[in-house]
């Protein structure tokens, strides 16, 4: 089965997506959307797409497009996804999938009403590495602590310090450290363990009131967790899941390919992970599978809902408000 895709967005992340998607059987790039037709045509020529659009209405109505990959700013995810879903297009939407839970619920409603697949492009959770994490949790005994962290200094922060505010640090676009990078910790947490009973958070605010870094403490009935994220520092510390019988060390939570279990007995187990150089290929394959199986109310929607619910609470405590929250 061949699925004809269009992409919304002509940035670096779209380049990486297309590089990965071409490794997935059934993927075919047919169209490119940009607000600028000149930019759409230039990108389409470079990527080998036949159709170009500078109108979302025309893209949604185009019968030659089956699915759309959305890599626009977070603040546009909901409106663009809903428009595509109502045009009977399947949607693979970049993380964070929406600005808030309310927007996500509207997106999910549109997907179910129009019998279309909506999937968040949370690349790590579709990978063999994440499946290995899930399948080997039982070896740790009773889970007592989870520590996920992703701290990566952004080159855009250098511009921020010069007074140049790019998308990644623009609250008007529903961005910031939590939405851009903290989500890589939040989504795996709720995917593995569900909704926490209690959440306490703090963040380091920058001069425009956006978060540059943050910490989330969570509490479950039998264990505690901490999520650390930053766009203004780097970290070399891996993520961990600690149980009474052993500790699982995950070198990089956004790309879990190096995973080791250290047992209390002294034994060490390195998990064998078949990894792709570009792990976005796994989200494409899963998206195509959901389309083929017509699985519109799939399990990943609930994980995205829990992600947005938790991040809404984090932002409430941190007093981070986006324009999208007030619409």
**pLDDT per position in the chain (327 positions), as tens?**
899 999 999 999 999 999 999 999 999 999 999 999 999 999 999 999 999 999 999 999 999 999 999 999 999 999 999 999 999 999 999 999 999 999 999 999 999 999 999 999 999 999 999 999 999 999 999 999 999 999 999 999 999 999 999 999 999 999 999 999 999 999 999 999 999 999 999 999 999 999 999 999 999 999 999 999 999 999 999 999 999 999 999 999 999 999 999 999 999 999 989 877 899 999 999 999 999 999 999 999 999 999 999 999 999 999 999 999 987
Sign (positive or negative) of CA dihedral 162, 150, 290, 16: positive
Question: What are the phi and psi torsion angles at 289 (to 5°)?
Answer: -65, -45
Q: Lay out the sheet containing 3-8: strands in order across.
A: 51-53, 27-33, 3-8, 67-70, 90-94, 118-121
Separation between Cα atoms, residue 103 and residue 19, nearest integer Å: 29
Separation between Cα atoms, residue 151 and residue 50, nearest integer Å: 39
pLDDT of residue 53: 98
pLDDT of residue 277: 83
Helix (H) or strand (E) holding 52: strand 51-53
Q: Please tell me the number of Cα atoms within 13 Å of 199 on its side-chain side.
A: 22
CB neighbour list of residue 58: distance below 8 Å, 6 or more residues apart? none
pLDDT of residue 327: 74
| 125-280+309-326 CATH | 3.30.360.10
Residue closest to 97 by CA, chosen among 109, 105, 89: 105
Q: Where are the domains of the chain?
A: 3-122, 125-280+309-326
Computed on alpha carbons and rounded to an integer, the radius of gyration of the chain in Å comes to 20
pLDDT of residue 73: 97
Q: Which CATH number fits domain 3-122: 3.20.20.105, 3.40.50.1980, 3.40.50.720, 3.20.20.140?
A: 3.40.50.720
């Amino acid at each position: 089965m061949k699925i004809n895709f269009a992409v919304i967005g002509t940035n670096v992340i779209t380049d990486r997506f297309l590089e990965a998607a071409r490794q997935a059987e059934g993927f075919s790039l047919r169209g490119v959307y940009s607000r600028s037709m000149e930019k759409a045509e230039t990108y389409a020529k470079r990527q080998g797409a036949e159709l170009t659009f500078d109108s979302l209405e025309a893209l949604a109505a185009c019968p030659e497009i089956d699915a759309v990959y959305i890599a626009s700013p977070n603040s546009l995810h909901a409106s663009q996804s809903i428009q595509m879903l109502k045009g009977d297009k399947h949607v693979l939407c970049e993380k964070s999938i929406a600005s808030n839970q309310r927007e996500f619920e509207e997106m999910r409603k549109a997907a179910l009403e129009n019998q279309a697949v909506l999937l968040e492009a949370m690349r790590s959770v579709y990978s063999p590495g994440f499946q290995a994490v899930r399948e080997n949790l039982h070896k740790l005994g009773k889970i007592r602590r989870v520590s996920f962290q992703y701290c990566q200094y952004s080159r855009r922060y250098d511009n921020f310090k010069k007074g140049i505010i790019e998308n990644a640090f623009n609250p008007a676009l529903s961005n910031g450290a939590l939405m851009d990078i903290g989500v890589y910790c939040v989504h795996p947490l709720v995917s593995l363990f569900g909704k926490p009973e209690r959440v306490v958070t703090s963040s380091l605010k920058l001069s425009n009131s956006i978060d540059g870094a943050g910490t989330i403490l969570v509490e479950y009935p039998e264990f505690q967790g901490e999520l650390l994220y930053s766009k203004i520092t780097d970290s070399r510390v891996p993520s961990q899941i600690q149980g009474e019988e052993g500790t699982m060390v995950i070198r990089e939570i956004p790309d879990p390919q190096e995973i080791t279990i250290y047992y209390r007995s002294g034994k060490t187990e390195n998990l064998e992970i078949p990894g792709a150089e570009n792990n976005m290929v796994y989200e494409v394959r899963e998206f195509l599978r959901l389309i083929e199986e017509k699985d519109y109310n799939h399990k990943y929607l609930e994980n995205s809902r829990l992600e947005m619910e938790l991040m809404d609470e984090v932002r409430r405590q941190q007093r981070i408000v986006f324009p999208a929250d007030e619409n």
